[in-house]
């Protein structure tokens, strides 16, 4: 008997394990909160602020679209974890499994570009103007989506529906074979480094640079600085704090837990991190509800003239 088979947790044929009600409840909350929040945000970006007028709005609109794609797949996940069975076929299983990863890594990259854009606007406002243009922003977003789509192909192939011989039911989002775990683990390590760790380091660097610049501005400004100016600086700092918060709550714990659980599945670790991985997966799913905080504080940092000239295009 392999180490994987010897340490499988709670392979019961009912839905008594806590992951089933936990996932069903978490996805229901994310759906109820994330759908209206991101829909309103996307409508605001497209119809009120305009996608051709502001670089931050372009990044935020793409982030909202990424969140909506994931949120629209949640009813399938809720159905499965409410019933413990998957009668909907292979394609319907591959789509939501893939969209979760698409959302995770596209969100990470778009949040990073929002941070970099705000860094350039604060620290290098004049020198960065040639870089902070609408065509360049759209080019960056296109490259991100092409990279994510390329990543989605192997992820989709590694998320098929599978037959559970023990319970004689079709499974989805779990019960993967040893070969699927090997292949998936290598992909996970690669995207964790490129899609999570590197962006996280960039955001930390942006946060430090912006805080230092704002401190310098506060020190050099007169005591007559307006309350509005101080409020803008405060909200700018909060934007970076929330970016780091999303990484600390949603991205980092999930990838640490998933890698540890993958090492266990591949027999490199004795301890089973399944419960830890289950909880952090719920935390990762919550990023679609936290992203509207980024929309709010990003929008507050966009110059007022962008709002004045923006006209409804819908």
CATH at 263 = 1.20.1070.10
| 139 within domain boundaries | yes
Q: Rounded mean pLDDT of the chain?
A: 84
| 310 within domain boundaries | no
Q: How many domains does the chain have?
A: 1
| 253 within domain boundaries | yes
Residue 3 confidence class, pLDDT cut points 50, 70, 90: low
CA distances, 34 to each of 11, 143, 172 (Å): 32, 26, 23
pLDDT at 180 over 80: no
pLDDT at 229 over 70: no
**Are the CB atoms for 288 and 250 separated by under 8 Å?**
no
| 9 within domain boundaries | no
- What is d(CA 217, CA 54) in angstroms, rounded to the nearest whole number? 24
> Per residue in 260-292, pLDDT tens?
998 888 888 888 888 999 999 999 999 999 888
* 46-50, 275-279, 295-299: range with highest mean pLDDT: 275-279
**In the beta sheet, which residues pair with residue 169?**
164
| 266 within domain boundaries | yes
Domain of residue 89, residue span: 18-219+227-304
Q: Tokens 């004049």, residue? A: 126
Q: pTM score, two decimals?
A: 0.87
Q: What is the pLDDT of residue 64?
A: 94
Q: What is the pLDDT of residue 14?
A: 63
| 63 within domain boundaries | yes
Residue 230 confidence class, pLDDT cut points 50, 70, 90: low
| 281 within domain boundaries | yes
| 314 within domain boundaries | no
């Amino acid at each position: 008997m392999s180490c994987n088979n010897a340490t499988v947790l709670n392979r019961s044929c009912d839905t008594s394990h806590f992951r089933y009600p936990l996932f069903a409840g978490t996805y229901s909350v994310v759906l109820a909160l994330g759908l209206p929040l991101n829909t309103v945000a996307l409508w605001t970006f497209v119809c009120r602020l305009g996608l051709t007028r502001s670089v931050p709005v372009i990044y935020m609109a793409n982030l909202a679209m990424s969140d909506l794609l994931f949120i629209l797949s949640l009813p399938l996940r809720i159905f499965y974890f409410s019933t413990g069975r998957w009668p909907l076929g292979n394609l319907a299983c591959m789509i939501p499994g893939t969209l979760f990863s698409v959302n995770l890594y596209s969100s990470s990259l778009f949040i990073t570009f929002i941070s970099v854009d705000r860094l350039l606007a604060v620290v290098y406002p004049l020198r960065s103007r040639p870089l902070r243009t609408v065509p360049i922003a759209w080019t960056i977003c296109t490259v991100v989506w092409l990279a994510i789509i390329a990543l989605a192909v192997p992820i989709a192939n590694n998320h098929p529906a599978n037959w559970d011989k023990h319970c004689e039911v079709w499974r989805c989002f779990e019960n993967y074979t040893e070969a699927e775990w090997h292949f998936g683990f290598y992909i996970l390590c690669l995207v964790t480094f490129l899609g999570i760790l590197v962006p996280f380091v960039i955001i930390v660097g942006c946060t430090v640079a912006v805080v230092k610049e704002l401190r310098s501005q506060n020190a050099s400004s007169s005591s007559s600085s307006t309350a509005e100016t101080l409020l803008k600086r405060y909200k700018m700092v909060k934007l970076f704090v929330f970016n780091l918060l999303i990484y600390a709550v949603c991205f980092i714990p999930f990838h640490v837990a998933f890698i540890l659980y993958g090492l266990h599945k591949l027999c490199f670790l004795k301890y089973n991190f399944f419960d830890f991985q289950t909880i952090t997966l719920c935390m990762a799913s919550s990023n679609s509800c936290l992203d509207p905080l980024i929309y709010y504080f990003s929008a507050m940092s966009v110059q007022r003239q962008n709002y004045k000239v923006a006209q409804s295009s819908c």
